[in-house]
Amino acid sequence: MTTTKKQLHRIDLIFKNEQDCKEILRNALARSNQEVINEMVNSGLKGRGGAGFPTGLKWKLTAEQKVDEKFVICNADEGEPGTFKDREILTRVPHKVLSGMAVCAKIIGARKGYIYLRGEYKFLVPNLKKELRRFHDILDELGLDFRVEIFMGSGAYICGEESALFESMEGKRGEPRNKPPFPTEIGYLNKPTVINNVETLAHSYTILKYGAKKFRELGVKDSRGSKVFSVSGDTPIPGIYELELGMSVQDFVDDFGDGDTKAVQVGGASGFLVPRKRFGKTSIGYQGKLTGISLPTGGSMMIFNSSRSMYNVLNNYLDFFEEESCGQCTPCRVGCQQLLKGIKAVKRGEKPASYLDKLLKLTDTMKLTAKCGLGQSVANSFSSIVENFREEMIY
Amino acid sequence: MDFQEKLVHDLVAKYGTDRENLLPILQGVIDQERYLSEEAILKIAKEMSIPAADVYGTATFYSFLDTEPRGKYVIRVCKTITCAMKGKNQIIQAIESFLKIKVGETTIDKKFTILQTNCLGWCHKAPAMLVNDDVYTELTPDSVVDILREYREEN
């Protein structure tokens, strides 16, 4: 079988060195709120943290709330294993993120914004503070009453979940809240809050500068625009790449694999493992079936070659989840513990192979009953690994 | 007023007594003392007029808010998948044999504590570690010893 290797289209929008944020802001602030919201909605931009909620709609819903005090929060609690693109964005183009926050603030009527930065990225603070001072001067010049502060996390994966993040900012344990109500109504300090991922805010800058139409030209159907991918694992070229949404995993592997790729983990430990036989049938993007399954991702793409034991990979993920589960709801707290114990017991021969089916049922229960995305998504990696690499779990 | 009392007092004065300032205050104590002692927690509770159990509850939720004594330099080696694949165990072994302590322990001179942590966000430059807030990536058993030697030899 011969295939012509076509390289994936590299996009250069997010990291493009553009120092015109004052102009972009001036223009955006001069437009009516409705006009900017329409631009955002028409762009098709969806949240780049992984969940994929339409950004324009989020801004619109928050803008409609008739409350005096509102907040804009940039979620920089990037903790999903295999994800590191937000750090790069905040290092290289923080002004784009801040511009997105300021425009959002004007539209929804917020005077205060926060960057919730994970504790592991504390070394970014001096530069970010310098950038904030410069940015606040620009806002003063443009007459926008808006200030951004940095709020540091302290090493808890779950705080990347938006409602856990609010709890954390309120000085509490980072335990997710029940939803609804959603942050657009009741967020930080129970006020309407827009909370967007770092990359989402940076894309909003691109949309404000080049227009929704140009953004929509990238990507496919329900997955518009470009996406920043964090590529790691068994690849000769690990790093951060901006690519179009909608690519197939096969094309991705052709570009980034080491020639011996066995599987790709799309979306980190809470995402799905794609085995070699499904590379061609799986694409990267949000719902909207293309030629098979389409997987969403916050950008984490981890590549495993044939030297890797998928049992070790799953063991590592479960160890991660067991530690990072907040412990609030039983399905997740006990579920993660039992899954980890269970695969070890099967591996050691203390439980029969059929015990894996019981564990798969347990993940179904967790998907239905866990309170937040963490507990619900453990099933993703667990079932995709156990179903595709069952022998490796047993022998 | 002893050092800790003054530290807590100053932090509360800087941030305020509202509950949403609790995390920055706890982080401020960690910056100075590397862990939250029972005394520190009681002082924070008193200054902020919130129950000590609430302060303790919040503190124990976060992996960077230690409630056990730690060394001046807390080494956190990433153990998540990519770092594990790229030789995290050899890095840990090199650190353990250099400092002559195990993961979870603190050196007798209270200078170093070795811990493992979850994904640090440096998967493309694995293996990675933090020494307090500073990041070190693409570690080898040799390079990690060189790095720690510099910390050990500084005064």
E strand or H helix at A60, and its extent?
Answer: helix A55-63
B14 touches chain A (CB under 8 A): no
Residue A17: Cβ within 10 Å count? 7
Tell me, rounded to whole angstroms, the distance of Cα A253 from its chain centroid.
21
CATH architecture classification, B73-153: 3-Layer(aba) Sandwich (3.40)
Averaged pLDDT, A362-387: 96
Q: A296, A272, A323: which is closest to A79 by C-alpha? A: A323
Structure token pair of residue A253: 């592997």
CA distance A116 to chain B (A): 12
Omega within 30 of 0 (cis) for the link into A180: yes
CATH number for the domain whose boundaries are A21-216: 3.40.50.11540
Least CA distance to B24: which residue of chain A? A152
- Collapse the DSSP code of A146 into the 3-class scheme (helix H, G, I; strand E, B; otherwise coil) and give the result: coil
For strand A261-266 and strand A239-244, is the pairing parallel, antiparallel, or unpaired?
unpaired
Q: What one-character DSSP code corresponds to residue A231?
A: E
Least CA distance to A325: which residue of chain B? B61
| Farthest CA pair distance, chain B | 50
Tell me, rounded to whole angstroms, the distance of Cα A123 from its chain centroid.
21
Chain A partners within 8 Å of B123 (Cβ): 81-84, 230, 232-233, 238, 302
Contact yes or no for A118 and B82 at CB 8 A: no
B2-59: per-residue pLDDT in tens?
A: 999 999 999 999 999 999 999 999 999 999 999 999 999 999 999 999 999 999 999 9
Return mean pLDDT, chain B: 97
Chain B partners within 8 Å of A308 (Cβ): 85
The answer, yes or no, to whether residue B127 has pLDDT greater than 60, is: yes
pLDDT of residue A326: 96
> What global pTM score does this model have?
0.96
Chain A partners within 8 Å of B134 (Cβ): 123
Q: Bigger pLDDT: A2 or A70?
A: A70
Give phi and psi for A165, each to the nearest 5.
-65, -40
Q: Say which residues have a Cβ less than 8 Å from residue A209's Cβ, sequence separation at least 6.
A: A18, A20, A24
Q: A264, A219, A250, A283: which is closest to A384 by C-alpha? A: A264
Domain A219-305's class? alpha beta
Structure token pair of residue B55: 């302060």
Contact yes or no for A172 and B124 at CB 8 A: no
Q: How far apart are CA A144 and CA A26, in angstroms?
A: 10
Amino acid, res. A359? L
A78 touches chain B (CB under 8 A): yes
Q: A390, A386, A341, A346: which is closest to A364 by C-alpha? A: A386
Averaged pLDDT, A179-192: 97
B26 touches chain A (CB under 8 A): yes
Q: Classify burial at B132, counting beta carbons within 10 Å of its beta carbon; exposed 0-12, middle 13-18, buried 19 or more.
A: middle
SS (H, E, C) B63-75: CCCCCCCCCCEEE
**Boundaries of every domain in chain A:** 21-216, 219-305, 310-394
Contact yes or no for A171 and B21 at CB 8 A: yes
Q: What Rg do the C-alpha atoms of chain B give, in angstroms?
A: 17
The answer, yes or no, to whether residue A2 has pLDDT greater than 80, is: no
Query: What DSSP assignment string belongs to B30-75?
Result: HHHHSS--HHHHHHHHHHHTS-HHHHHHHHHH-TTS--S---SEEE
Averaged pLDDT, A364-368: 96
**Boundaries of every domain in chain B:** 3-61, 73-153
Return mean pLDDT, chain A: 94
B27 touches chain A (CB under 8 A): yes
Q: Say which residues have a Cβ less than 8 Å from residue A133's Cβ, sequence separation at least 6.
A: none
Q: Say which residues have a Cβ less than 8 Å from residue A190's Cβ, sequence separation at least 6.
A: none
Most B CBs within 10 Å, among A84, A199, A304, to test the B interface: A84
pLDDT of residue A370: 96
Q: How far apart are CA B41 and CA B7, in angstroms?
A: 12
Structure token pair of residue A174: 């980072």
Q: How far apart are CA B75 and CA B91, in angstroms?
A: 12
B13 touches chain A (CB under 8 A): no
B103-123: per-residue pLDDT in tens?
A: 999 999 999 999 999 999 999
A65-86: per-residue pLDDT in tens?
A: 999 999 999 999 999 999 999 9
Q: How far apart are CA A345 and CA A354, in angstroms?
A: 12
Dihedral class, residue B84 (left if φ above 0, else alpha if ψ from -120 to 50, else beta): alpha
CA distance A87 to chain B (A): 8
pLDDT of residue A276: 97
**CA contacts within 13 A on the Cβ side of A107:** 31
Q: Which residues lie across from A196 on neighbouring strands?
A: A74
B53 touches chain A (CB under 8 A): no
Restricting to A residues 107-146, those with a Cβ less than 8 Å away from any Cβ of B are 118-123
Q: Classify burial at B53, counting beta carbons within 10 Å of its beta carbon; exposed 0-12, middle 13-18, buried 19 or more.
A: exposed
Q: Classify burial at A18, counting beta carbons within 10 Å of its beta carbon; exposed 0-12, middle 13-18, buried 19 or more.
A: middle
SS (H, E, C) A232-293: EECCCCCEEEEEECCCEHHHHHHHHCCCCEEEEEECHHHCEEEEHHHHHHEEECCCCCCCCE
A93-105: per-residue pLDDT in tens?
A: 999 999 999 999 9
pLDDT of residue A297: 76
Domain A310-394's class? mainly alpha
Q: How far apart are CA A145 and CA B102, in angstroms?
A: 52
Contact yes or no for A240 and B124 at CB 8 A: yes
The answer, yes or no, to whether residue A338 has pLDDT greater than 80, is: yes
Per-residue pLDDT band at A291 (split at 50, 70, 90)? very low
Averaged pLDDT, A141-145: 97
Chain A partners within 8 Å of B52 (Cβ): none
Cα separations in angstroms, B124 against A203, A276, B129: 23, 22, 13
Chain B partners within 8 Å of A173 (Cβ): 57-58, 61
A320 touches chain B (CB under 8 A): yes
Structure token pair of residue A59: 């801004």
Chain B partners within 8 Å of A119 (Cβ): 27, 62, 64
Contact yes or no for B81 and A118 at CB 8 A: no
A87 touches chain B (CB under 8 A): yes
CA distance A218 to chain B (A): 26
Q: How far apart are CA A227 and CA A241, in angstroms?
A: 8
Contact yes or no for A121 and B57 at CB 8 A: no
Restricting to B residues 116-135, those with a Cβ less than 8 Å away from any Cβ of A are 117-126, 130, 133-135
The answer, yes or no, to whether residue A42 has pLDDT greater than 80, is: yes
pLDDT of residue A5: 59
Omega within 30 of 0 (cis) for the link into B51: no
CA distance B85 to chain A (A): 8
CA distance A84 to chain B (A): 5
Please check whether residue A283 is in contact with residue A249, taking contact to mean a CB–CB distance below 8 angstroms.
Answer: yes
Q: How far apart are CA A373 and CA A332, in angstroms?
A: 10
The answer, yes or no, to whether residue A290 has pLDDT greater than 70, is: no
Q: Classify burial at B33, counting beta carbons within 10 Å of its beta carbon; exposed 0-12, middle 13-18, buried 19 or more.
A: middle
Averaged pLDDT, B61-69: 97
A263-281: per-residue pLDDT in tens?
A: 999 999 999 999 999 999 9
ipTM: 0.97
Q: How far apart are CA A25 and CA A138, in angstroms?
A: 9
A233-268: per-residue pLDDT in tens?
A: 999 999 999 999 889 999 999 999 999 999 999 999
